[in-house]
Amino acid sequence: MTGFGEAEEVTEAGVVRVEIKTVNHRFFNVNLRTPSGFDRFEGDIQSWLRPLLSRGHVTYTLSVVRDRTAPDDTLPELDLERAKRYRELLETLRRELGVEAPVDLTHISRFGEIFRAPEREDASAQVEPEVIQRLTRSAAAEVVALREAEGARLQRDLEERLAAIEEALVRVEARAPERLVAERDRLRAAVAELTETHTVDEDRLAREIAYLAEKWDINEEIVRFRSHVELFNEALQAEAGEPVGKRLGFLVQEMNREANTIGSKANDSQITQAALTLKEEVERLREQLENVE
C-alpha cells in the first residue's frame, strides 16, 4: 500500500530528519538513502522497519541539516607556515635567476596547498543510534496509520466484489436445473420432428438427460467457490496488523479456477454470462490485492 511518514529531531549535529515513502510491492523491498558516514546504520534501519512494514517498496531517506545560525565550519583555512616557505623558495629562485621583480602575493596565492579544508567532525559520530531508531519508528508509525486507512477503504471495495460474486453464484445455481429441463424439452421436440411422430422413448431420453446432468454438473464448483468466498471474508475480518495478502491471493487463484470450470460446463447463455461476471469480479479482486499487505 502507499504511505508516507516523517519525523525529525534537533541534535548536536543538526536537525536529523527521517522520511519514509511506500508503494505497492509483493515483497519487503527497501531503498535506503543516507548521508556519508551513516551507512553503518543501514542494517539496523532495515531491522527496525521490517516488523512494521512487512510488504511494499519502501524508500527511506535520512538527512542531517546543520544549524544555519552556527559558525560556518566549511570555510577554508590558511596554512601560514606553508605560505611562508613558498615565499622563501620563490625569493631564492628570484635571486639565483637574477630576476629583479619582487615576489608578491599573486605568485604565492597560485599554490593552492596554502589553503586547506577545515577538519570537520563526522556528523554520524554526533548522532546516537537511539535517535535514528526513534525517528524511524515514529515515521513508520505514520506510514502504518495511512496504510490502515487505505486498507479500510480497500476492505469495503473487496466486500462489494464478494457480494457481486455471490449474486452471480445465485444466478448460476438457479439456472443450472432449468437448463436441463430446457435441454430435455429440446431433445424431445427434435426426436419427434425427426421421426414425424409424437412417440418418444422416454427411457432413452431419461438416460440422455442423466448423462448430460452428470457432464454439466457444476454443483461441486459452486460449493468450492462459496467456500473460497467464506474463507476470503474470514481473512478480511482478521485482527488488524495480521498480513493476509498472500492468503487472499491464493484464494483468488482458486476462485478463478472454479469460474473457468463453470464457464466451460455452462452450455447455456445465462450461465455463461454469469461465469463471465464471476471472472470479471475475481479479476477485480486480484487487482486490488496488489495493494493488500
Structural domain spans, the chain: 3-70+126-144, 77-116, 151-289
Q: Residue 43 — pLDDT band, cuts 50, 70, 90?
A: very high
* All three cell numbers of 275: 461465469
Beta bridge partners of 18: 7, 62
Query: What dihedral do alpha carbons 210, 254, 238, 172 form, nearest 10°?
Result: -40
Helix (H, G, I), strand (E, B) or coil at 31: strand
Least confident of 205-214, 234-243, 274-283: 205-214
What per-residue confidence (pLDDT) applies to 60? 96
pTM of the entire predicted model: 0.57
Confirm if 140 and 52 have CB atoms less than 8 A apart: yes
What per-residue confidence (pLDDT) applies to 99? 86
* All three cell numbers of 193: 420432428
- Give yes or no for residue 186 having a pLDDT over 60: yes
User: 3-70+126-144 sits in which CATH class?
Assistant: alpha beta
What per-residue confidence (pLDDT) applies to 258? 93
- Calpha distance 279→165 (Å, rounded): 9
Task: Identify the top-confidence range among 77-86, 103-112, 239-248, 273-282.
Answer: 273-282
Q: How many angstroms separate the Cα of 44 from the Cα of each of 40, 50, 143?
A: 8, 10, 19
Q: Residue 69 — pLDDT band, cuts 50, 70, 90?
A: low
* All three cell numbers of 120: 570537520
pLDDT tens digit sequence for 131-143: 999 999 999 999 9
**Nearest CA-CA partner of 62 in 1, 119, 26, 11:** 11
C-alpha angle 241/246/248, rounded to 5°? 90
Q: Which ranges constitute the DSSP H helices of the chain?
A: 42-49, 80-97, 105-108, 123-126, 129-195, 202-216, 219-236, 245-264, 269-289
What per-residue confidence (pLDDT) applies to 207? 74
